[in-house]
Amino acid sequence: MKRNISTWSLLLPLALFVIAVLLKSPVSSQPDQIYILKEILIFGAILLSIPLIFHQKWASDRNVLRGLRQLFFFIFLTYFLLLFFRQSWPRSALTFNEPDYLALVLWSVYSFVFAMICIGILRNLIFIKRKRSTLRNFSVLLFFLVFYALLGVLNNQLDIPKEVVDSIHYFILFILLNLMVINSLRISWINYLNKKQKITLFWSGLFLIPFLIHLTVLYYQSSPIIHFSVVLDRFVNQSILLLTVYTSFALIGLLAHLPTAQLFDRKIRQIESMHNLSRAISTEFDLNKLVVLIVKLVSDVTESDFAWLELSDEKNRKLVLVSSRNLKEKEKRNREVFYHQQLIEFLSDQNEPYLVNQVSKDEHAKFLLAWKKDIGSVLIVPLYSVEKTVGFLYAAKRQEFAFEQDDIDMMRAFSEQVIVALENARLIKESIEKERLQQELLVARDAQMKLLPKSMPKLQNIQIDAICRTANEVGGDYYDFLSLDDHQLGVVIGDVSGKGPSAAFYMAEVKGIINALAKTQTSPAKILCQVNRTLYPNIERNQFISMIYGVLDVRERTFTFARAGHCPVYLASPLSNKVDILEPRGISLGLNSGPIFDKTIEERKISLNAGETLLLYTDGAIEARNKNGKEFGEERLIEGFLQYKEHSVSEIKLNLLNYIYKFVEDEKSFDDLTFILIQAAQKFTV
């Protein structure tokens, strides 16, 4: 529908204009009816063309510079065409022959199109940042512009004294000129030009104005349109006058804006820098790239000669130069040497941007000159996050008094964005690192679980069960069963000091050593001595391993074991209401290279009677804490063991776990927890 309306709005005025051309009646002092009809048709064509100014795409382009370039092109094209052809045009309509009349029509059409394009472009400029009155003022201007054109014909047809006609003519012209001035004050588009564009347009306008004034005079004096139509002549002449008036006011506006053009450009750069930093917050999580971007934006927004960023290194507790702009390599290397504690403490206490416009005379900032001698003024912004200063952002210039209050306000807002950006990058890095570590721990846990026995040994007259629960993804507890021959089983339980991957690593190392030694040596004490000698050179001095290694003889129903600093072994009998605590001497593995360990270790052999149960455990069972910080302790473990001693080993295991978890009230276990339960049958079978 819109396309049809646009087509008809173009065809109707064109049809009226064609009819007017075909009527071919010259302008004279005694106009005939054909001439009057022709002028009315042209007036109608002009009137119907006015909506094109508002609705056509070419008249709705809001690109200021493109519109002005088009305007300059049409002005100079029209000017040189008028200069070139004006000498050859006849001075009277009565002298026009067919070729001349065709040239007159073509020039009239061109001038009308030129006037419409000019008004359309001016309308775009006037309507930028429009107010409620803008459309009204522009519409009234167009009304008087068309009315003034029509008045030229009516003056010759009304029986009114010439003085009165002239008065009406000048009154309408006065109103029209005032409306031109009112609309020419609408030059808000100048505010959106940068300094370079304003300067370019100012000099272009200064060059254009003489040509435009001369073009206006030429149209009044030399253009032959008046021989074709008085209405069209007046409309074109006043349109060109409007263009001249508006261009003059725009030139004055440009001149007035030139002193503030640089400030406007600076504001634009500041806004762009803030936008770029905000975008970086959401898109750039690489800290190394982010600090480079921050320094670049600071340098751009403050127009500084030098800029650099220093961040606190929490590990070394010192400031580190992480990024800079326009600093020499020597200055970068020497920055740490010239840190002055007095300046750093002062800036940390300030917690506000610190402006120094004369570095050499400032008691705090003058220390910078020992590092960089060509600093005249500097703006320093502490980066404050979560009640601590994480770094400092510097912008410096060679000349003194180079910064303004506006720079402080901008840097204050900028620093807040910088802190958010740095914090986001740090959190993302920690999150990625944590996720990577989590994956590594899961892999390590899986590897650790594979080190533990996949099933319990099946022995005649003996039941065995065990469990290992880690406090973290990876723990340091360890148990294992080694088949030594057809009637002997090696039993191992150990606890590496600490937790995590390093504890699991030592656990895996010990497993390998014991597996290698178990079948070459029958004495548990001697095996532990050899394990200690092998392990001692490879273990950190701040770590150790407690362990029990024993040999279970199914045929003789005995358990021979040695204890290297580990928790005691509990023995419960169905015939007794107490638990025997078996605690032979011995120190932990890895504490001594050999002599003291060998001298201290003690081996013990016990018999397993019908129904008796052995409990081997790690200290996680007794060190488990509740929410009040109270430990489960040995007494509670013994109490629970006594309570469930006549159950099967699987039931004892589960009941002891529930007994501990009920005490800690779902609190996370303080340490890794491991049980091994060995129970002799109630009746032995041969």
Q: Over range 613-625, report the average pLDDT.
A: 91
Contacts of residue 233, Cβ cutoff 8 Å, sequence gap at least 6:
152, 223, 225, 226
Query: Does an H or E element contain 470, and which?
Result: none
262 vs 466, which has greater pLDDT?
466
Q: Tell me the pLDDT tens digit for each residue of 384-410.
A: 776 678 888 899 999 988 887 777 777
**Is 581's pLDDT higher than 90?**
yes
Same domain for 426 and 457? Answer: no
Taken in order 469, 636, 646, 610, is the CA torsion positive or negative? Answer: positive
Can you point out the beta strands (E) in 167-287?
Answer: none
Q: How far apart are CA 108 and CA 223, in angstroms?
A: 9
Name residue, tokens 């081997």: 616
434 exposure class (CB count in 10 Å sphere: 0-12, 13-18, 19+)? exposed
Q: How would residue 270 be classed by pLDDT, with cut points 50, 70 and 90?
A: low
Kindly compute the dihedral angle of the four CA atoms of residues 432, 433, 438, 440, in this order, to the nearest 10 degrees. 120
Q: How would residue 30 be classed by pLDDT, with cut points 50, 70 and 90?
A: very low
Same domain for 86 and 195? Answer: yes
Quick one: pLDDT at residue 61?
52
Q: Would strands 477-483 and 462-469 be described as parallel, antiparallel, or unpaired?
A: unpaired
Same domain for 363 and 457? Answer: no
Q: Tell me the pLDDT tens digit for each residue of 99-129.
A: 677 888 888 889 998 999 889 888 888 888 8
164 vs 366, which has greater pLDDT?
366
For the ranges 13-27, 78-92, 372-386, 557-571, the maximum mean pLDDT occurs at 557-571
Quick one: pLDDT at residue 440?
62
**What DSSP string describes 40-91?**
HHHHHHHHHHHHHHHHSGGG----HHHHHHHHHHHHHHHHHHHHHHGGGS-S
Percent of the chain with pLDDT strictly greater than 90: 27
Q: Tell me the pLDDT tens digit for each residue of 247-262.
A: 999 999 888 877 765 6
Q: How far apart are CA 632 and CA 138, in angstroms?
A: 90
Residue 438 domain-assigned (yes or no): no
Q: How would residue 519 be classed by pLDDT, with cut points 50, 70 and 90?
A: confident
Q: Over range 518-545, report the average pLDDT.
A: 88
Same domain for 309 and 161? Answer: no
Buried-exposed string 384-419: b where 16+ CB fall within 10 A, e elsewhere: beeeebbbbbbbbbeeeebbeeebbebbeebbebbb
Same domain for 511 and 539? Answer: yes
Q: Give residue 662's domain range.
A: 452-680
Residue type, 304: S
Q: How far apart are CA 416 and CA 412, in angstroms?
A: 7
Domain final position from 265, 294, 329: 265
Same domain for 567 and 502? Answer: yes
Q: How far apart are CA 232 and CA 643, in angstroms?
A: 117
Q: Over range 139-150, report the average pLDDT.
A: 90
Contacts of residue 227, Cβ cutoff 8 Å, sequence gap at least 6:
26, 27, 90, 92, 93, 96, 104
Contacts of residue 146, Cβ cutoff 8 Å, sequence gap at least 6:
43, 46, 47, 50, 235
Q: How would residue 89 be classed by pLDDT, with cut points 50, 70 and 90?
A: low
SS3 95: helix
Residue 279 domain-assigned (yes or no): no
Q: Cβ atoms within 10 A of the Cβ of 617, count?
A: 26
Q: How far apart are CA 429 and CA 432, in angstroms?
A: 5
Q: Over range 433-459, report the average pLDDT.
A: 75
Residue 436 domain-assigned (yes or no): no
Q: Over range 549-563, report the average pLDDT.
A: 94
Q: How would residue 472 be classed by pLDDT, with cut points 50, 70 and 90?
A: low
Same domain for 27 and 133? Answer: yes
Same domain for 541 and 571? Answer: yes
**Is 19's pLDDT higher than 60?**
yes
Q: Over range 554-572, report the average pLDDT.
A: 94
Quick one: pLDDT at residue 551?
96
Look at 96-110, 166-180, 279-293, 389-403 and tell me which has the smallest mean pLDDT. 279-293
Distance, CA of 126 to chain centre? 38
Which of 41, 230, 234, 53 minimizes the C-alpha distance to 144? 234
Q: State how far the alpha carbon of 159 is from the alpha carbons of 23, 166, 353, 456, in Å.
A: 26, 13, 80, 128
Distance, CA of 252 to chain centre? 43
Same domain for 486 and 411? Answer: no
Contacts of residue 556, Cβ cutoff 8 Å, sequence gap at least 6:
none
Residue 479 Rama label (left phi>0; alpha psi -120 to 50; beta): beta
Q: State how far the alpha carbon of 94 is from the alpha carbons of 100, 219, 224, in Å.
A: 11, 20, 12
Quick one: pLDDT at residue 95?
53
Q: Over range 426-442, report the average pLDDT.
A: 71
Mean pLDDT over all residues of the chain? Answer: 82
Q: Over range 270-299, report the average pLDDT.
A: 70
Q: Which stretches within 323-404 are classed as H helix?
A: 329-334, 341-350
Q: Which stretches within 396-475 are classed as H helix?
A: 405-451
Contacts of residue 41, Cβ cutoff 8 Å, sequence gap at least 6:
16, 17, 19, 20, 23
Quick one: pLDDT at residue 508?
80
Q: How would residue 26 be classed by pLDDT, with cut points 50, 70 and 90?
A: low
Same domain for 609 and 565? Answer: yes
546 vs 501, which has greater pLDDT?
546
**Is 559's pLDDT higher than 90?**
yes
Same domain for 233 and 289? Answer: no
Q: Do 45 and 21 touch, CB atoms closer than 8 A?
A: no
Domains in the chain, number: 3
Same domain for 464 and 510? Answer: yes
Q: How far apart are CA 153 and CA 679, in angstroms?
A: 127
1 vs 205, which has greater pLDDT?
205
Q: Give the CATH number for residue 313.
A: 3.30.450.40
> What is the DSSP secondary structure assignment for residue 481, as one 8-state letter?
E
Q: Over range 298-315, report the average pLDDT.
A: 83
Give every strand in the sheet of 569-572, ordered side by side. Answer: 462-469, 673-680, 613-617, 569-572, 579-582
Quick one: pLDDT at residue 241?
93
Which of 588, 637, 639, 585 minimizes the C-alpha distance to 616? 637
Contacts of residue 106, Cβ cutoff 8 Å, sequence gap at least 6:
none
Residue 294 domain-assigned (yes or no): yes
Q: Over range 533-543, report the average pLDDT.
A: 86
Q: Give the CATH number for residue 563.
A: 3.60.40.10
